[in-house]
Amino acid sequence: MKIIMLGAPGAGKGTQAKQIAEKYDIPHVSTGDIFRANIKEGTALGMEAKSYMDKGALVPDELTVKILLDRVAKDDCKNGYVLDGFPRTIPQAEVLDKAVAELGETIDYAINVDVPDENIIKRMSGRRACVKCGATYHIVNVPPKTEGICDVCGEKLIVRDDDKEETVKNRLNTYHEQTQPLIDYYSNKGILKEVDGTKDMKEVFDDIVKILG
Ligand code: ADP
Ligand code: ADP
Ligand code: ZN
């Protein structure tokens, strides 16, 4: 099963993608996580990506597409994957379609996690992230068992550099300009599914499972 998660920054794509990956036993592929891992390791790719991420802009398609195609070519993606944060532009979607079509396959679902902008700012200011394992928390909605520490791997949690309010506003603008058009793109392909992302995260997941079967 090949699934794409769509939605604004902070809509809950990562939170849901992790649960989908576990239930359907497919890898969770997050371009944001790949970039953050590279930033942490100080690679050239990480440094370049960071210059865009810190502004709330997108990393250029050419760079992002290469990384994503390398990742989904790996063995563990043979039976499918859940993409979180990719595609984010129409050209990225077209490249993905072409790559999947070359294998004689198709994307099964594009799930749009719908959350209005007003709710987003609140969510982002409370987000805490583990850069080691990719787990995400929220100081009010999803607190870790021990404050500031990842439940899964014990790493210290961080506030992402790009979760500052000013940057979040830029990310929302970027989303509306460059990513939202993908909703129509996948709707026209007949694979778009919408879920109400303002619901409790467990209810959102139940709604997704109803779609995926
Ligand atoms: P995205 O991957 O779309 O940027 P995340 O999954 O990281 O979003 O979620 C953003 C923040 O909102 C996190 O702090 C997360 O714990 C919290 N969150 C996720 N889903 C919900 C929900 N349904 N209700 C409330 N808070 C949520
Ligand atoms: P969120 O879902 O909260 O917006 P992500 O972790 O998906 O966060 O992305 C963080 C940042 O990484 C984005 O703001 C962007 O700069 C960069 N990024 C991630 N995925 C892509 C992509 N597919 N294309 C371009 N830039 C990306
Ligand atoms: Zn962790």
Per-residue pLDDT of 138-163, as tens digits, reads 999 999 999 999 999 999 999 998 99
Dihedral angle over CA of 200, 19, 34, 148, nearest 10: 60
- Is the confidence at residue 186, as pLDDT, over 90? yes
Residue with tokens 């090949």: 2
- Is the confidence at residue 122, as pLDDT, over 90? no
* Residue identifier of the C-alpha nearest atom 20 of ligand 1: 12
Helix count and strand count (H, E) for the chain: 9, 7
Ligand 1 centroid to Cα of residue 134, in Å, is 13
Spatial separation of the C-alpha atoms in residues 208 and 94, rounded to whole Å: 25
Q: What is the b/e burial string over 84-94, where b = at least 16 CB atoms within 10 angstroms of the residue's CB?
A: bbbbbbeebbe
173 CB neighbour count, 10 Å cutoff = 13
Residue 14, ligand 1, Cβ within 6 A: yes
- Percentage of residues in the chain with pLDDT exceeding 90? 95
- The question of whether 171 is a catalytic residue gets the answer yes
- The question of whether 123 is a catalytic residue gets the answer no
- Percentage of residues in the chain with pLDDT exceeding 70? 100
Per-residue pLDDT of 36-66, as tens digits, reads 999 999 999 999 999 999 999 999 999 999 9
Residue 202 CB-density burial (10 A; 0-12 exposed, 13-18 middle, 19+ buried)? exposed
Residue 153 φ then ψ, to 5°: -125, -5
Residue 137, ligand 1, Cβ within 6 A: yes
Ligand 2 centroid to Cα of residue 169, in Å, is 14
Catalytic residue among 2, 50, 71, 171: 171
Residue 31, ligand 1, Cβ within 6 A: no
- The question of whether 71 is a catalytic residue gets the answer no
Of 79, 110, 85, the C-alpha closest to 1 is 79
| 8 Å CB contact between 149 and 158 | no
What value does the mean pLDDT of the chain take? 96
| 8 Å CB contact between 183 and 191 | no
Which residues does residue 5 pair with via DSSP β-bridges, in sequence order?
84, 111
- The question of whether 88 is a catalytic residue gets the answer yes
- Report residue 52 as tokens: 């865009």
Ligand 3 centroid to Cα of residue 135, in Å, is 5
Per-residue pLDDT of 61-102, as tens digits, reads 999 999 999 999 999 999 999 999 999 999 999 999 999 999
Residues 6+ apart with CB under 8 A from 171: 9, 56, 162
Ligand 3 centroid to Cα of residue 37, in Å, is 12
Per-residue pLDDT of 165-185, as tens digits, reads 899 999 999 999 999 999 999
